[in-house]
Chains A and B, each alone.
Chain A
């Protein structure tokens, strides 16, 4: 006859009564706090298959749909549609990453993570900055995956290598700029579901732009909106760089023009939304 022993539960070490924990006199500074928070957010992303894999697959799926389902109907004069599409797709992908930022921030509010951090003696602005840094890393990763898939489905840019690298760099900068908007939306929404709803604004923003089709193919009343929103400038800059010239992208103006305009938009977005996000976060009601 065999005797099975119940698994022993580790007893709490409570009888001893005392234990020693040391206090540190100097809490973490801005840089250390930013890194800690960023590290945690990255772990959350890469250890959460749902976030890491689904986000990637979703992007790839849309790229394939646009490339193979709509691609034939949307052939552009100067270049194959796949060359036209991929730069636009990479830039709008930033907004879809942004939705993850908004819901992630809202979850942090909802689940008390921000409360814990705000009750600690660390710089409050660093907590939001850590989030922005981490999400810039994850969107860069997502962007590189998208570009790789783009190459796999026939994307062959004519731009020089420095121009292509500049295009990638600009895209990361645009992503960083948009993150602040989404951090603010997440803070304002306060819970993940509401954040997801608010973040839906990325759909009109991404479709009413030059990302998938040329602006001059849109109805007249829609053109001024599409023409004058940040995403169009960013897509135009990245596309001009990637395709080697604005003409190849079906655009007027010089590449420099589009780079400057889009960079100005990015700076503007950070200048407006970063202080608002930090203020909202700091505020102790």
Chain B
């Protein structure tokens, strides 16, 4: 935990890549979003976006291997609330996953891509950086001036 300066606050959580830790990740995001004075509805959107991003890390980057490390960082100022999720698993490019079409998913019996679509719908910005063999980073950004 550290405060860079009086305007930006930053907190970090490290957990193993296990789905049982998703609730801890949600609580971590909720706690700091509350401190930032964000409204309950917006907090719920951010919690879900964070959950989806970490679920993808567990399933795709770590392929359900439970000893991987996930670092969740929140940073906020009066302008933005940023959730950054870093892992050291396999590189995956979510941009290549097409926007899901629920009817097509039904016909093709495929379930997937829903989480990424939700993240984009719920947040103002979703940014990916992937350095194969080193790390993947997802950044979920909410602009606060319009959403509080």
A, B: real partners: no
